Structures are given as C-alpha cells and as structure tokens.
Structure 1
Amino acid sequence: MPSSNQKHAIIYRMVMPDHLCPFGLKSKDLLEQKGFKVEDHHLETREQTDEFQQQHNVDTTPQTWINDERIGGYDELREYFGKQVKGSDETSYTPVIAIFGLSFFMALAISWAAYDSIFTVRAIEWFISVAMCLLAVQKLQDIESFSTMFLNYDLLAQRWVRYGYLYPFGEALAGVLMISGAMIWLSAPVALFIGSIGAFSVFKAVYIDKRELKCACVGGDSNVPLGFISLTENLMMVAMGLWMLIK
C-alpha cells in the first residue's frame, strides 16, 4: 500500500474516436478517488496501442504506474488498493439478492398504490409473484443456456428435455397471473407443479447427492451456487400456489 505522500500516478489508456476504454475511465476515477494526481496519456490509434503494448510487454490497456512501479490494469489497480476482485468462476448470491430485494420494494410500492398501506397480505403475494416474473426474465434472456444448466439437476428435465425450455414460460405465466389475481385455477397449479419438482430436484442434488453445482435460477450464465437460495425460490412458489388455491 502506498504511503500518504505517494500521490502521483501515470496511466496509459485507449481514447479513440470509435472506442473509449471503460476500464481506463474506471482506473482514472479510482486513482482520483484515492487522491492521486493522474498523468493521463491517451492512446489514440490502434497503432499507438500496439506499439505501447509491445514496448512494455503487456497484452492489455489501461496500464497504470505508481512511483515508477507498473501496477497493471484495472483489476490489478483494485487489488493494489485492497479492493476485492471477483474471479470469472467465483460464486455469488448478488444476482438473487438484487432480484428479491427489488421484488420486495416493488411489492410494497404496489400495495401502497392500491391500498395506501404497505402492511397488506397482497404485498406478500405481490412480492413472490413479482420475484417469479423477474427470475423468469433472467432465464428467458438466453433460454438455451438456461436449459443446459437446468439439466444438471432438474429431475423432470433430465427425463423430458423440453421441460427445460418450457419452465421459464410457466414461471412467467404464473407470476403475471398471480400479480393480477386472475385465472388462479391455472396459475396456482402451474406454480405448485414447477415449484414442487424444483424443490425436490434441488434437495436431492445438494443435500442427498452432495453435488456442487451452479443454479440456473437467474439464467444460464450465473455463478449462483445451487443450494438453500435455490430451494427457497421453489418453496416460495409451492407456498404461493397452495395459498392462492386455499384462499
């Protein structure tokens, strides 16, 4: 870590008419946040960039120097300042937390708009149904990748591959209908069906077979570990399906 009087940095970054390097901007901003005076050098052509990379034996830009020591690119600069750098294969619950958090506040907003109160039973129903819709959106962005990851653990999809393609549409349909309160005769059984199969599949894969897998709940390119959160998603759908049928 630099001491308090080491406040000068040099950065080389691509600033071209058709490309402004975002990591260069992030590196410069991070240095300025840390109180550094930045000597900012622009690489304005592909030729300048290639020559710079060859001269310094580096493969990427931006590149930062502090006190004549080359730190490297944006990730290396973050590490230099003690900030966490997430690896490409590192698991994270951030996508799930974001979806459930936003669903919760959207449910409260809808409840307030409809009833002038956030303390309603419908707020809980909207929370689950909105979350189902947002989770379905993540899957539908790349249904091919989702279905591939889903096949790793879902028991019905392993027997009938097409189920992996139908699942996101079922989740979205049930979520939309439950938001409106319409066609409960359809939405509740769908949620109950896919939630029950999903819960059993996750429980078997994680707690019986002890497999370490990634969850397809937020799409096929996610790094969310299959486990308690995945089980909770499915149990929420089961609970919602049962509740809508009972009421």
Structure 2
Amino acid sequence: MSTAQKEKRRATVYRMVMPGHVCPYGIKTVDLLKRQGFAVEDRHLQTREEVDAFKAQHGVKTTPQTFIGGRRIGGYDDLRAHFGKATPDHGADATSYQPVVAIFSIALLLALAFSWYTFGSVLTIQAGEWFVGIAMVLLALQKLQDVRSFSTMFLNYDLLARRWVPYGYVYPFAEALAGLLMIAHALPIVSVPLSLFIGTVGAVSVFKAVYIERRELKCACVGGNSNVPLGFVSLTENLIMIAMGLWMGARVLGLIQL
C-alpha cells in the first residue's frame, strides 16, 4: 500500500474524555473507524474549556467529530452515512415498529421455551396461548412504567377513554390481569370477558381513527412515549385479544376439546 493510500486510511477523532464523562458516541465512532480498517488518531478533549474551544474553532455544535484526509466528516451519524450505513431518524415525529417487534418476539420465544420445558416440544397449543398471554403482560408493563403519559396518548383515539377518562388509567392493569390469568388458565370468568371487552373497544377505536377518520397518530400500545404508528399492527393486537378471549371461552364451555 502506497503512502498516499495509507494516509487515506487514517482518521482523526476529537471526542470528550473527561474525569466525570466519556462520550459514548465517541467510543462508537472510534470502534466504527477501526472496523472499517482505519488507523485512528484518537484526540481527547479533557475539559469543558477544550470542548468549547474546539466547537468554536470548527463551527460545530457537538462532538465527537471525525476528520478523514483532512476533511471533516462530522459526528457519529454522519460517519455512518459516510460509510453507507443506515442512520437512525432522531426526529420527534419519527415512527418505528421496533418496540412492538421486540415485545412480540420475546413473548414468542418465552412461550416456546416454556412449551419445550413443559412438553418437550415447541409446537403445542399451549405455546400459542402462552404467547398471547405473555405479550399482553409485556405490553401492559410498558404502559405501567408511566401510566399518566400512557393515558394522555390513549385519549387521542380510544373511544371509551374519551367518555370516561379514568379508563386510561385502568386499562394497563386490566390488560396485565387478563394476560396473567390466561397464562395461568385461572378464573376464566374474569379473563375471558375482560379480554373481549378491552380488545373490542380497542379494535373499534383504532379502526375508526385510522381507517374512517384517516388520522395519523402514534399508538399508546407500548407506553405514552411511543413512536409506534397507530394502524394495522395496533388493530391486529386488539383482534388477537378478541380471538384469545373467544378461544379461552370456547375451551371453558367445552366447545373445543384438546
């Protein structure tokens, strides 16, 4: 490799490394450059005065800052874009299904694990029942972290909460209770109507807001600070609760024999 080529594979990073704070994006920047095959000149800004002087000198608002071949690339997201990698959208209106995907994926894996331990197989009816119950509990847990924020976002579209505001505070507890009872196969006289009720009200509310009124809203399904868009996934979640309520009710009444 020629000297010129070697110089092109060198990068200089200015990042905050202070006694009380080490910038995590600075660490990620250095790691990304090394994984891309760059030799990194890692320059630490060790005091607030050094940080402020650096920002003023280069006309930037944040650190870390990366320079390659004498040209400033920018911060961590700019560096990812420079290498053709996906960059997160940090905008206040950015939406993502990632929280829902994570919750349902973990719920499914837990259900399969319980089924394997109990029955020696993952392909069981019980695994499906556990999946729905666990998903309901995990979703309720997200809401219960900040019930006030959840109830506020819930008022944007839920028809019952708009008529009776306390329903927004009750909902997460009702969802958790229904999920736990379904997992335990206990008190179906409570879990079945509860699941049918909250699922039906939720489905009607989402359908009206999204498909009739054509409103673009965020779903409170994973908490009041959610960026999950209200739509098909939210409607499906409620329909699954309805289906599970009907299924458990049919089992109790002896309409389904396993």
Q: Confirm or deny a common fold (TM above 0.5).
A: yes
What is the SS of the residue equivalent to 2:115? helix
SS where residue 12 of structure 2 aligns?
strand
Partner of 1:63: 65
Q: Which runs of 5+ in 1 are unaligned?
A: none
Q: CA deviation at 1:44?
A: 1.2
Instruction: Indicate yes or no: 2:47 matched with 1:35.
Output: no
Residue deviations 1:40-60 (CA, integer Å, cap 9, x gap): 001111121112112212111
Q: Name the SS of the counterpart of 1:84 in structure 2.
A: coil
C-alpha deviation, 1:174, in angstroms = 0.7
Q: Secondary structure at the match of 2:121?
A: coil
Residue 85 in structure 1 maps to residue 87 in structure 2: yes
Distance in 1, Cα, partners of 2:188 & 2:9: 64
1:114 aligns with 2:115: no
Question: Among residues 48, 53, 56, which one is paired with 2:55 in the alignment?
Answer: 53
Offset at residue 141 of structure 1 (A): 1.2
Whether 2:205 is the aligned partner of 1:201: answer yes
Query: What is the distance in 2 between the residues matched to 1:140 and 1:155?
Result: 20
- Equivalent pairs: percent with the same residue? 63
Distance 1:28 1:146 in 2: 38
Cα distance per residue 1:115-146 (max 9 Å; x no partner): 11111111000000000011111111111111
Question: What residue is the counterpart of 1:76 in the other structure?
Answer: 78
What is the deviation of 1:19? 0.6
State the 1:245 CA deviation.
1.2
2:224 aligned to which of 214, 217, 220:
220
Matches of 2:82 and 2:130, distance apart in 1? 44
Deviations along 1:184-211, whole A, 9 cap, x unmatched? 1111111111000000000111111111
The alignment status of 1:192 with 2:199, answered yes or no, reads no
Correspondent of 2:179 among 175, 178, 193:
175
**1:10 corresponds to which residue?**
12
* 1:149-173 per-position Cα deviation (integer Å, ceiling 9, x unaligned): 1111100011111111111111111
**Residue ranges of structure 2 left out of the alignment (5+ in a row):** 252-258
Cα distance in 1 for residues equivalent to 2:138 and 2:85 = 30
Is the counterpart of residue 166 in structure 1 residue 162 in structure 2? no
Runs of 4+ in 1 over 4 A off after TM superposition: none
Pair 1:153 & 2:160 matched:
no
Rg larger for: 2
- The Cα RMSD (Å) is 1.4
SS at match of 1:128: helix
